[in-house]
A = this chain, B = another copy of it.
Amino acid sequence: MATVVDVARRAGVSSATVSRVLNGNGTVQEEMRLRVHSAVRALEYRPNAMAQGLRKGQANTVALLVGDIAQRHFAELTLHIQTTLEADGLDLLLINLGHRQERLTQFLARAPSLRLRGIVLALSDRISKATERQILAARKDGLRLASVGQDLSALGVASVVHEERAAAQRSVAYLLDKGHTRIAYVGRIVGSAIGTERFRGYRAAMTAAGLAAKDLVWDMSYRYAAGRDAVYRALDAGIAFTAIQAGSDEIAVGAMAALHDRALRVPDDVAVIGFGDVEMGAYLRPALTTISTHADRAAHCLRELFAAPLGTARTATAALLQRSLVLRDSA
């Protein structure tokens, strides 16, 4: 493969000039510029990104650590982040955590090797004290970090978050408004920072209405089966309820399946509201009422963070994205 030296020789200039032409640094006479370009074309020269990175002290890469790419919400986020980074000439290194804290820890320990342009954390899970220390240390090393979905600005990490608590609260208020008094919450995922925020919104609404009840809160993981099994169990236990606020759309779909299996109609017998507005929801029957997400806007907010040159100081602010109720048939 051709190198700058090959190009320089063919163009009859020095390698410094080749570099200047290709990077637009300094000024080069028009004639030399043309000679360089034609040599580049003739040799099909491609600069070695690793050599560039070594020289510049930084790679052209941003790592994305994602909770679980099998969840639609994270997949969509990944898509938008990749597209956005690419527009700025940055590559995306993907690490799927599968919600396992130790994988996050391991990567953070290895990260310095990669001399990354930055790291994006897209985790719903609450992070441990040990991980917090790692993050603090990484920041001190000059690593640029950003968080999407979870507010880590207290750790000095610029964060792009959705409004979780208030959105859940409004959603439950909507159900209360419709006359429901026994509203269950499925999916207060212990260990999930985002899940906990959503649950707090539910609890606030229920408490304000004087309708909070322990038997209406069903802790589960974030998957389809979890939503289904939680409803089976509640029904088996004889718990009465006429509405469900789910912690995610997947949980809501699972819950609806369980209701159907027990011959309960949605929304007539039990109203269901999801969380996240995953594409699928609109094609369910009944179509799923849910709470909107804006993965595209979240990705957009990250953009300037990593496109900026090294060493640019930044305050760690938290950008807030609004959510709204997407009314369909299930509630």
Q: A114-B49, A115-B48 are in contact. Are A283 and B261 (CB under 8 A)?
A: no
Q: Does A236 contact B (CB under 8 A)?
A: no
- The yes or no answer to A42 lying at the interface (CB within 8 A) is no
Chain B residue at minimum C-beta to C-beta distance from A47: B113
Q: Which residues from B are CB-within-8-Å of A256?
A: 283, 285
Which of B78, B83, B113, B224 has a CB less than 8 Å from the CB of A279?
B224
Do A112 and B46 have beta carbons less than 8 Å apart? yes
| Closest B residue to A54 using CB positions | B50
- The stretch from A31-39, A67-75, A171-179, A184-192 touching chain B is A67-75
Taking CB atoms, residues of chain B closer than 8 Å to A225 are 283
Residue A92 lies at the interface, judged by CB distance under 8 Å to chain B: yes
User: Hey, what's the 0/1 contact readout for A96-125 against B, CB within 8 Å counting as 1?
Assistant: 101000000000001011110000000000
- Mark A residues whose CB is within 8 Å of B: 1, 46-51, 53-54, 59, 61, 64, 68-70, 72, 75-76, 78-79, 82-83, 86, 91-96, 98, 110, 112-115, 141, 223-225, 228, 250, 253-254, 256-257, 260-261, 279-280, 282-285, 287
